[in-house]
Structure 1
């Protein structure tokens, strides 16, 4: 079986959980017998791990036309003209707003170099919508150039590319819903983003969701047939903690960590308020908020207002080994998300022998047993859980031991088996 897979990012060039999940899944699928993957991203950098699949950058694809008029393509895909206040699968460094405008005028051309290649940044910048549009356009060429049995598109940024590829090859389309705009916007859904998401779901032969929480949203909010929506939980790649145990804290205080985008979806304000409650009971603890986002400045101000700034640390965005180091320095990890389709970070923390507290409003809470689960808004319960774990070593040790054993059994290879079954079902649906 040959899979043509469209993603937006791939390690080491990632800005959130999407790239991490794509990497893990491709690693797991590489263990499936007789399965080959061509993984496409807008921009390939050349240093990606291609040991398990072939990576293709849309920026390196010759579209065979030095300057291509896209009016016909545009007329078939007008849903790609996105306006209003748009937050994509957030780049952690910035919060982007797009003003209402017609991005593609009557005589708009894609500019290409002398080799007939389009330029892509591969990021979430101000030209995001143009890049989505170009990505879908190049996907048509890629679909013709690479033999495949099934198409797999990750998240809404790639749905148009998946649709375009399907229109050319006629092969079944599987879309992977890592999040919906209902999660990102807190219910204040951007109608244009919703339209792209729904169009991707309507065009898909099968839909993979990362949790039953997300599955229910897809069925209820987007009107999808339950029979074609399948939950496949995320997992984690095995790591060797022992290799990095030389890291030392440098302080005697316990460390409680929040790690993620500092946006409304992630509930950072509840973490700050819970920290205030804990510090009223014990001074021997420090709180770390690792990440960046549109609410960062507000969180810094709130910590100062509460008089806990001396016990509260903001690290900025962390990635790669820095994330792992942060977990190794932590005594508790908290994920107070308001709406979390899944949430890989608690699994990564548990791998590092860190007890975790997660919101009941997260997909990962559906599969974890050895984690404290609280409602994101219940600051008192969150504070009690934090205080209990940092105060009672026996409780902490139980969560460390049992949690590590539990998460070690959540392997991408197992998730890949389920994804392969979805591929087979999608292919058979067209027979």
Structure 2
């Protein structure tokens, strides 16, 4: 079975849980004997680990390749126009107008670079929608040039690419919902994002949700048939403990950590308020907010307003080994998310022998037993949980031991086998 998989980021070039989940699942799938994976990203940097799959960068696809397939592409998917004043197709400086009213609804101008390729940043910047459009365009050619039995598109950024590939190849499409805009926006959904999300789900032959929480949103908010939506829980990558043992805490106080995007979805304000409540009961604790986001300045200002800045530390965005270095010096990890489709970071913390407190409004709470669960808005309950773990060593020790044992059984190979079953069902 050959899988054409579309993602948006791939280690070491990641900015959050999506890239981590894609990498873990792909590694798990690579251990299944009858599976071959072609993993596509908008921009390949050349330093990615390709030992488990073939990695294809849309930024490395030549325009000449696209021209060879233009007639079929037009008939199957969209049409391409060249402005009348421009010179022949294969000139690297010309601009192409890519238009598909079904997918995008308006014209876009795509510039070809000096090597005859479309350029991608692969980031989440101001031109994100344009990059999604270009990605879908190039996906059609990649679909033609690579033999495959099934298409797998991760999250809304890749749904148009998955649809484009399906329309060209006729192969079944599986979309993987790692989050919806209802999670990210707190209910104030971006109409354009919602349109792309629903379009991808409508076009899919099967939908994978990362939790039952997300599955219910897909069914209720996007009008999808329950029989079409399958829950496959995420997992966590094993960690080398020999490497981590060198990391030592440089302070005597207990360390309580928030690690994630500092946005409304992640509930950082509840962490700050709970920290203030804990500091009224004990001074033997420091709080760390690791991450970046649009609420960072507001959180810094709130900590100052509460008079707890001397006990509060803001590290900025952490990734890779720095994440585990942070966990190594932490005594408690807190994830007070308002709406969390899954949440891999608590698993990483538990793997590092750190007790975790998570919101009941998270997908990961569906599968964890040895984690303290509170409503994200219940600041008193959150403060009590933090205080209990840092105050009573025996309680902390139980959560460390049982949590580590529990998370070690959450393997990507298990998730991969479940996804493989989904593939087989769709193909058959």
> Shared topology, TM-score over 0.5?
yes
Do the aligned residues in 2 keep the contact of 1:73 with 1:137 (CA within 8 Å)?
no
Q: State the secondary structure of the residue aligned to 1:235.
A: coil
Question: CA separation in 1, counterparts of 2:233 and 2:101?
Answer: 37
Structure 2: distance between partners of 1:78 and 1:302: 41
1:264 aligned partner: 264
CA drift of 1:341 comes to 0.1
Alignment of 1:391-430 (within 5 A): 391-428=391-428
Corresponding residue number in structure 2 for 1:135: 135
Q: Is the 8 A contact 1:389 1:396 kept in 2?
A: yes
Matches within 5 A, 1:25-104: 25-64=25-64, 65=67, 66=90, 73-79=99-105, 104=107
Q: Is residue 322 of structure 2 the alignment partner of residue 318 of structure 1? A: no
Report the secondary structure of 1:220's partner residue.
Answer: helix
Q: Tell me how far 1:245 sits from its aligned partner.
A: 1.0
**2:126 corresponding residue in structure 1:** 126
User: Cα distance, 1:76 vs. partner?
Assistant: 4.0
Q: Is 2:9 aligned against 1:9? A: yes
Shift of 1:63: 3.1
1:314-335 Cα offsets, whole Å, 9 max, x none, are 0000111100100000000000
Deviations 1:102-130 (A, max 9, x none): xx3xxx54221354311111111111111
SS of the residue corresponding to residue 338 of structure 2 reads coil
Contact map agreement 2:98 2:110 (CA 8 A) in 1: no
CA RMSD of the aligned region, Å?
Answer: 1.2
Contact 1:39–1:55 under 8 Å retained in 2: yes
TM-score (structure 1 length as normaliser): 0.91
Distance in structure 2 (CA, Å) of the matches to 1:10 and 1:420: 21
SS in 1 for 2:386: helix
Deviations 1:205-259 (A, max 9, x none): 0000000000000000000011010000000011122321121111100000000
C-alpha distance after superposition, 1:150-172 (max 9, x if no partner): 00000000000000000000000
User: Are residues 390 and 36 of structure 1, via their aligned partners in 2, closer, same or farther at CA, if it must alter by over 3 Å?
Assistant: same
Specify the SS of the correspondent of 1:78.
coil
Return the alpha-carbon distance in structure 2 between the equivalents of residues 245 and 48 of structure 1.
Answer: 26
Where does residue 183 of structure 1 map in the other structure?
Answer: 183
Unpaired runs of at least 5, structure 2:
68-89
Distance 1:403 1:241 in 2: 16
Partner of 1:234: 234
Question: In the aligned structure 2, how far is the partner of 1:267 from the partner of 1:114?
Answer: 45
Whole-Å separation in 1 of the counterparts to 2:336 and 2:102: 41
User: Is the CA contact (8 Å cut-off) linking 1:219 and 1:225 kept in structure 2?
Assistant: yes
- CA, structure 1 residues 423+70, in 2 after alignment: closer, same or farther (shift >3 Å)? farther
2:280 and 2:195 map into 1 onto residues whose CA distance is 47
CA contact (8 A) 2:95 2:112 kept: no
For residue 251 of structure 2, what is the aligned residue in structure 1?
Answer: 251
SS of equivalent residue, structure 1 residue 287 = strand
Does structure 1 conserve the Cα–Cα contact (< 8 Å) formed by 2:97 and 2:110?
A: no
Q: How does 1:329-368 map to 2 (within 5 A)?
A: 329-368=329-368
Q: Cα offset for 1:69? A: 7.0
Q: Distance in 1 between matches of 2:341 and 2:122?
A: 23
Q: State the shift of 1:78 in Å.
A: 2.4
Aligned length: 402
Provide the secondary structure at the position in 2 that maps to 1:358: strand
* Segments of 4+ moved more than 6 angstroms: none
Shift of 1:71: 5.1
Q: Deviations 1:24-56 (Å, cap 9, x if unpaired)?
A: 001000111110000000000000001100000
Cα distance in 2 for partners of 1:362, 1:127 equals 30
Q: Provide the secondary structure at the position in 2 that maps to 1:110.
A: strand
2:149 maps to which residue? Answer: 149
Is residue 61–residue 117 contact of structure 2 (8 Å, CA) maintained in 1?
A: yes
Partner SS, residue 8 of structure 2: coil
TM-score, structure 2 as length reference: 0.92
Contact 2:96 2:111 in 1 (8 A): no
CA distance in 1, matches of 2:122, 2:98: 25
Q: Does 1:373 align with 2:373?
A: yes
